[in-house]
Amino acid sequence: MDSQIIKTEYSEEMQKSFINYAMSVIVARALPDVRDGLKPVQRRTLYDMHELGIRYDRPYRKCARIVGDTMGKYHPHGDSSIYESLVVMAQDFKKGMTLVDGHGNFGSIEGDGAAAMRYTEARLERVTQEVFLADLDKNVVDFVPNFDETEKEPAVLPVRIPNLLVNGAEGIAVGMVTSIPTHNLGEVIDAVKAYMKNPLVSDEQLLKIIKGPDFPTGGIVINKDELPEIYKNGVGKIKIRGKVEVEKGKNGKDKLVITELPYTMIGANIGKFLNDVANLVETKKTTDIVDITNESSKEGIRIVLELRKNADVENLKNMLYKKTKLEDTFGVNMLAVANQKPEVLSLKQIIRHHVEFQYELAARKYTTLLNKELEKSEIQEGLIKACDVIDLIIEIIRGSKTLKEVKACLVHGETGKIQFKSEKSRKLAAKLRFTEPQAKAILEMRLHSLIGLEIEALLKEHEATLKHIADYRNLLGDRAVMTKFLMKELDQWKKKYARPRRTVIENGAEAVFEEKKMEEKEVMVLIDRFGYIKTVDVSVYERNKEAADGENKTIFSCMNTDRICLFTDTGKLHFIKVVDVPYGKFRDKGTPMDNICNYDSTTENLVYIQSLAFIREQRLLFATERSMMKIVEGLELEASKKTMAATKLAQGDQVVCVLPISPNDEYVVLRTRQGVFLRFPLEEIPMKKKAAVGVRGMKLGEKDGLEFVYLLKEGGIQTVEIGKKEVHLNRLKVAGRDTKGTKART
């Protein structure tokens, strides 16, 4: 067979392949369908549980069984995604209405994960069985082949409520994300009814019915006036707060009790909130909190903050809103798959899609039921008619040799091959015109059906069938009747499954608090040779000066409002706020600098440490191992970041020293590892920006590198030891920059 090579542009092929992949992720995995509000993995999991018969009124089954069966039949993308979706559908703190009844450890609101699938069990909730999976046998939705075309799965579930709004959705696709909050079932049903009564209902009118999101964790939405715009456009930010109550304690000490949390705090964020509150206390941002206790349990959230006597409760509440996640934002992006494409939808559009889907479901359901009743009526009419001529039918059966002859007579009146007792019977038989289904039912009819009571029951059943046919035709033929019927169904679901609203919707005042200004004072920064840092009062240092100087490698004074600059050999500058450094007694150990800034002692070495206030007033000399040098203005090194690049380095180079230059410094002396010295005027080193590499200070010998840099004042005397001999730096010959230098004799 001849092969054919198709030439194409690589960029075009990549673009086409990426678009196909992106759309596959968007439509087939990450985004929910606007009709049933479910992602494919959720839909497949629920359908598989339905197929396995794990109903709400039957025993629980192992989650591992459910996951394995779903993966093998419908969702071949790994067990973790299936189990995670199963767990989320069972968590009442994440879903407005749980769809799965979990048995075992399914995680907690505080971020504890669910147990492994081999330990947990599950079954469908009653609402899932009745509202999500009912009528699948009535041809209400299309069934499509699964991934290997060995099974059939529903393209969408026949969900009878707007699940996309009730349970919300979260998902990340390729280049897009969906984030839809949960809502109150009763309010959503009322909004759907309002739309069915008047499709021209405005978004504002719908929002009078749906007050806003209703999160399972409760909380307070504080930007009520912004909700109409959010729901009209399908995007925006909802501001939510936790619910805080004040309880009276002993001795006049109040307690702040947090009973409801923002929905965004579910999981590890509760632990972060507790850490943030503790940090406010440790950094002296507040002195009103005495103790923090997490008393949360299965009954609900209860985080207790014990306050000191006469604490400013309102100011503290506002501080918690401002400084912690107790006030947070929920980003809304109501993106869903509508008509097989992703679309950002407004509240009204979601309801419109749902209502259209309900009419489609009802039309398909009652068309199927009508056809069944018509078939049933046809057979019943045949049996009733047969009862009137039962003697003739028996005579036909007895006079026939084959079943085919009987059917031909009953359906077409063919009597040629049948023996009759009289010619009158033959003439009557020739007039019979039963349909094929009627003839089949007559031949399968049992003799006890000829009892009088059985015939009466058949007549009553036929009357009921005719009534059903009339009702179904009325539903299918009159949209107003269908609307009334659907609204009646919605009322049933509301009465059975709706619950009171949990989230309060209001226009909350902006949280404003008065942050107590720190008392500015001078402190001494002490850093020992192990990299532990602490601050002490100046008077404490002066009383212990001798011990402090002997035990610490770096000592300098600064204000407690200042920042500390850490220059490293990698060319980075790390900042530490002085307030973040432990302040206390002289004998306190302090804390490793690694713990309070981005400095990593395992990968970089400190070159110079000083306060930012000092650095700001200086000119700094930078020198690297390869003898690259420059002078930088200290003001250039001020930044609000925690870490910045203090200088640019060539590949494989590193900073050797950073030195502040005093006004009296005249000369610079370079010293290499091999003992080579070079003295030249400081003015030969140019001023550069921090992003510059600099100029070469001296020519280095092979495998040599710069080790030390000294600054000399005019007429100053300075000596260094090389081996056992002293070298007088001020006696070195003055040369030019970028020369070889002189090797010291030892």
Instruction: Band the pLDDT of 97: cuts 50, 70, 90.
Output: very high
Higher pLDDT, 378 or 116: 116
What mean pLDDT do residues 677-699 have?
92
**Could you please report the per-residue DSSP string of 264-279?**
GGSSTHHHHHHHHHHH
What mean pLDDT do residues 670-689 have?
92
Q: Is the pLDDT of residue 716 over 90?
A: no
Q: Is the pLDDT of residue 486 over 70?
A: yes
Instruction: Band the pLDDT of 515: cuts 50, 70, 90.
Output: low
Give residue 250's identity as a one-letter amino acid code.
Answer: K
* pLDDT for position 654: 94
pLDDT in tens, 504-514: 999 987 776 66
Looking at every residue in the chain, the average pLDDT score rounds to 88
Q: Is the pLDDT of residue 228 over 80?
A: yes
What mean pLDDT do residues 178-194 have?
95
What mean pLDDT do residues 372-397 have?
83
Q: Which residues lie below 8 Å from residue 385, measured CB to CB, with a gap of 6+?
A: 434, 438
Lowest pLDDT segment from 24-28, 439-443, 694-698: 24-28
- What's the rounded Cα separation, in Å, for the pair 741 and 674? 11
Q: Which residues lie below 8 Å from residue 436, measured CB to CB, with a gap of 6+?
A: 407, 411
Alpha carbon of 637 to those of 380, 421, 632, 645: distances in Å? Answer: 95, 121, 8, 9
SS3 at position 702: coil
Q: Is the pLDDT of residue 728 over 70?
A: yes
- What's the rounded Cα separation, in Å, for the pair 139 and 360? 11
What's the whole-model pTM score? 0.73
* pLDDT for position 452: 59
SS3 at position 299: coil
> What is the CA angle 568-571-572, rounded to 5?
70
For the ranges 8-12, 279-283, 291-295, 452-456, the one whose mean pLDDT is highest: 291-295
Instruction: Band the pLDDT of 220: cuts 50, 70, 90.
Output: very high
What mean pLDDT do residues 169-176 have?
80
Q: Is the pLDDT of residue 453 over 60?
A: no
* pLDDT for position 390: 80
What mean pLDDT do residues 670-677 have?
90
What mean pLDDT do residues 174-178 have?
79
Q: Is 119 one of the catalytic residues?
A: yes
Q: Record the tokens describing residue 267, joined without a space.
A: 């999981």
Q: Is the pLDDT of residue 106 over 90?
A: yes
Instruction: Band the pLDDT of 155: cuts 50, 70, 90.
Output: very high
* pLDDT for position 50: 95
Lowest pLDDT segment from 76-80, 218-222, 315-319, 391-395: 391-395
Q: Is the pLDDT of residue 421 over 80?
A: no
Q: What percent of the chain has pLDDT over 90?
A: 54
What mean pLDDT do residues 344-360 have?
95
HSE-up (13 A, CA, CB side) for residue 613: 11
Q: Is the pLDDT of residue 516 over 70?
A: no
The answer to whether 695 and 655 are in contact (CB under 8 A) is: no
Q: Record the tokens describing residue 226, joined without a space.
A: 């912004």
Among 169, 130, 171, smallest CA distance to 46 is for 130
Among 332, 121, 304, 144, smallest CA distance to 235 is for 332
Give exposure, 515-528, as e/b (b: 16+ Cβ within 10 Å): eeeeeeeebbbbbe
- What's the rounded Cα separation, in Å, for the pair 179 and 7? 42
Q: Which residues lie below 8 Å from residue 640, measured CB to CB, with a gap of 6+?
A: none
Q: Which of 74, 83, 119, 541 is catalytic?
A: 119
